[in-house]
Structure 1
Amino acid sequence: MPGSVIVREERAGEVARPVPVRWVWLAAWPVTAVFVLSNAATPLYVLWQRDIGFSRGTLTVIFAFYIVGLLGSLLVSGVASDRFGRKRVLLPALGLALVACAVFATASTVPALVVARLFTGVAVGAVVSAGMAAVTDVAGPARGRLAALLASCAMVFGAGLGPLLAGVLSETLPGPTVTVFAVEAVLLALAVLAVARAPLARPAPGTGAWVRLPRVPRGDGGLLIPGVAVFAPGITATSFVLSLGPSLLSGLLGTTSRVVAGALAFAMFLSATAVQFAVRALSRRVILLAGAASTAAGTLALIAAVRTSSVLALVACALLAGAGQGMGQLGGLSLLNSGVAPRRLAEANAALNVGGYLPAGLLPVSAGYLSDAVGLTTGATVFGVALTALAVAGGVAVLAGGAAGSRRVVLP
């Protein structure tokens, strides 16, 4: 059937009927909608800092509670999605994301911001495991590479659209926080409709603990390690720009414009989206090596930006960091889609993201408190040196990863 994906075998963990191609794109929408929420608060922190009053260290702790919620969710959501089905994980996650919108819209204390970020992290954890696996389910085996590209781009595009949308709406419309999260609630409601109607896979029976550190099936470690080694430094770099980028902009430009802060984050994730389309025909090993190199170059640009007060270097840092995350993410997801069985794919996606988000939560928080103690220039420099070393180590891990990294990522 033209324009369709035909999956002939009716097995648990796979879609067992013809699926129009448009559903592959629609299946990616919940990923985009939740990731819009994940970073929508970024340009608004200057407002909350002004009205509530808290330090850069507290800001990174608020940001880190998102990581806490995400990692806690990943311990459960991947396994639950593979056993119960994608919808039974995604629909409650989208409901929790709507609650997070309401808390953000009315937040007037640090604990409220912490709760909102925690709920957001839980929703994102469900989406990066169950949501990305749902895209692969709908696409079917014949379009696994397309599924990896769309799921990855949905994540980074949503992550970039959130701060840009929030920056523009909060500067141009009254009631900035309420307006931003009311619009996001509409996007989430559309995602609920997409999930409710999507032709998702039937759950597969499973054994073992429900709450556990996500992992790939025995023998598939070679599909996970190279992706984690590159994705982790990349997403740590973008997390730093998201959490402390507005402070850097304020110091370098003397501006607290929410549009400028949102535009910087959008440019970073637009870079992450565009680079994935640009490199999709390269081998996975080349994509991962390029991702590691881009992250290393981005952190060196960060050091240059804070030591020379260069806005251009800060922009270069954001673009290179975004490209590094994008290529690490695409390479990691493509490796998993190439060899992990559908019935274990959500848990494998969760494992990739646990490996990525752990340093993304710990290192920026450390950099934030170090910056409070010794100044933003020294704190960012130490962070940049450490992350450059991690990115180089990631490249070395890919080179040592064997043949798994050399399979090609060519879309049909």
Structure 2
Amino acid sequence: MPAGRTEVRGTVLERRTAPARVVPPPAAEAPLWWVWLAAWPVTAVFMLSNAATPLYVLWQRDIGFSKGALTVVFAFYIVGLLGSLLVSGVLSDRLGRKPVLLPALGLALAACVVFATASSVAALIVARLLTGVAVGAAVSAGMAAVTDVAGERRRRLGSLLASCAMVLGAGLGPFLSGLLSETLPAPTVTVFLVEMALLASALLVVVRMPVTRPATAGQGSWVRLPGVPRESRAQLIMGIAVFGPGITGTSFVLSLGPSLLSGLLGTTSRVVAGSMALVMFLAATGVQFAVRALRRRTILLAGAASTAAATAALVYAVHASSVVALLASAVLAGAGQGMGQLGGLSLLSATVAPNRLAEANSALNMGGYLLAGSLPVAAGFLSDAAGLTTGATVFAGVLAALAIAGGLVVATLGRRVAETS
């Protein structure tokens, strides 16, 4: 009988109507302040990642090791990070963000203890290794958690805040470390006590964070090279092509920047070294807000150009003994990383489903950190053998070629990749 028709049955009037279609309510959207707060654990972990940078001159004085050994210590951070990325992205997508972030923050706290009591290169290597594992979880599960809390409607904001949290933490860490180590007693202990307090606050945020466990279980091995669905591979390649050279440039400044400052200024001031890192990463943060409305392909091309310009400024700085050029190189390197990172993350968050997003973030960062872990180490050993000027010049030439190649990759693939707004 047609819906809405009245039928008489005895003395009862019955009105038959078609059952109304039940529309599920939209998922509850977290308050905007939670989106910002969800980025804090990423910031706190990345503050630890570079907190040791201004302190290496103290450890070199007390323990005694070369520039090559210093870059090896830095490289073990990359080893821990890459090992973490093999697991943390897949675990996060299958078990949820919290089961990955909570142990990672525990490892970060353990790293602080090892740093604070370090009396050998081996101890520094262990501390950097633990830090790398924690950072690997932060760039996969932590950054994906920010996007999850932001929700579908604010997906682009989530990518922006996750990316900015990473670079802001990377800059605040060495600045705070340099400042505290110059003004308070027992610098290599005090810095990490403060960092432990910050990490403890991040732990509380993760416990209360409004994220849920995945609704569906993933497939495949639990430990594997992170990847993306076939339809998102072009976006991943574009992101790595720019983000890789960008983060390699900032890694060089972090590892050998204090040595360059010492040669150019004749100073070992930890505040100066930390300030240069802060300026570099403030540039990486600010540029992301400045370009966030541009097309992702345009952002990536600008990032590649900025990294290439940073290498030119670096060569001029070491040959002309110009502190201004060195700072310009750091700012341009920061901008290059920031735009490469934002462009890559935005492309992935726009095309990869939430249940693969942490793994996709792992893939992007693994591609970038593989380069960032190898090229600065080679430059460090070359600097020991042939001098800092030669090492920096050769590094700059190789990085410039990679940045230009990255721009060409984006220009070529970008014509075939339809961007989402």
TM range (shorter): over 0.9
Superposed, 1:89-100 pairs within 5 Å as 89-100=100-111
Partner of 2:237: 225
Q: Which residue of 2 aligns with 1:243?
A: 255
- Unpaired stretches in structure 1, ≥5 consecutive residues: 1-7, 11-15
Residues 303 and 406 of structure 1, relative CA distance in 2, 3 Å threshold: farther
Measure how far apart 1:18 and its partner are. Answer: 3.2
Aligned length: 397
1: CA distance between counterparts of 2:99 and 2:415?
36
Deviation at 1:78, TM superposition (A): 0.2
* Residues 23-102 of structure 1 aligned to structure 2 (within 5 Å): 23-102=34-113
**For 2:110 and 2:416, how far apart are their aligned partners in 1?**
41
Q: Pick from 389, 394, 398 the counterpart of residue 401 of structure 2.
A: 389
Residue 161 (1) aligns with residue 185 (2): no
Residues 152-189 of structure 1: CA deviation (Å, up to 9, x unaligned): 00000000000000000000001101111111101100
Q: Deviations over 1:330-366 (max 9, x none)?
A: 0000000101000000000000000000000000000
Specify the alignment match of 2:205 in structure 1.
194
Deviation string 1:292-339 (CA, Å, 9 cap, x unpaired) is 000000011111111111111100110000000000000000000101
Q: Which amino acid aligns with 2:69?
A: T
Q: TM-score, normalised by structure 1?
A: 0.95
Does the 8 A contact of 1:62 with 1:114 survive in 2?
Answer: yes
C-alpha distance in 2 between matches for 1:394 and 1:408: 21
Q: Are the aligned partners of 2:29 and 2:150 in contact in 1 as well (CA < 8 Å)?
A: no
CA distance in 2, matches of 1:77, 1:65: 18
Preserved contact between residue 292 and residue 328 of structure 1 (Cα < 8 Å): yes
Compute the displacement of 1:408 (Å). Answer: 6.2
Q: Which amino acid aligns with 1:370?
A: L
Q: What's the offset of the Cα at 1:209?
A: 0.7
> Following the alignment from structure 1 to structure 2, what is the Cα–Cα distance between the partners of residues 49 and 404?
50
Letter in 1 for 2:395: F
How far is 1:21 from its partner? 1.1
Instruction: Judge conservation of contact 1:226–1:405 (CA < 8 Å) in 2.
Output: no
Which stretch has the larger CA shift, 298-307 or 115-124?
298-307
The whole-number CA distance in structure 2 between the counterparts of 1:268 and 1:406 is 32
In the alignment, does 2:368 pair up with 1:349? no
Aligned AA (2:137): A
In structure 2, the residue matched to 1:366 is 378
In structure 1, the residue matched to 2:348 is 336
Cα distance in 2 for partners of 1:327, 1:140 equals 23
Q: Rate the CA distance shift 1:9–1:252 in 2: closer, same or farther, 3 A.
A: farther
Q: Which amino acid aligns with 1:127?
A: A
Q: Match of 1:133? A: 144
Deviation at 1:29, TM superposition (A): 0.4
List structure 1 runs of 4+ shifted beyond 2 angstroms. Answer: 402-409
1:5 paired residue number: none
- Percent identity over paired residues: 74
* Partner AA of 2:64 in structure 1: G
- The letter of the residue matching 2:336 is G
Which residue in the other structure is 1:266 paired with? 278
Q: 1:210 to 1:408 in 2, by over 3 A?
A: closer
Deviations 1:40-87 (A, max 9, x none): 000000000000000000000000000000000000000000001000
Bigger Cα Rg: 2
Per the alignment, residue 4 of structure 1 pairs with none
* Secondary structure in structure 2 of the residue aligned to 1:401: helix
| 1:92-126 per-position Cα deviation (integer Å, ceiling 9, x unaligned) | 00000000001101111000000000000000000
Equivalent position of 1:174 in the other structure: 185
Aligned to 2:9: none
Distance 1:353 1:218, change over 3 A: same
Check the 8 A contact 1:73/1:122 in 2, yes or no.
Answer: yes
Work out whether residues 107 and 113 of structure 1, in 8 Å CA contact, stay in contact via their aligned partners in 2.
Answer: yes
Aligned CA RMSD, in angstroms, stands at 1.2
How big is the shift at 1:219?
Answer: 1.8
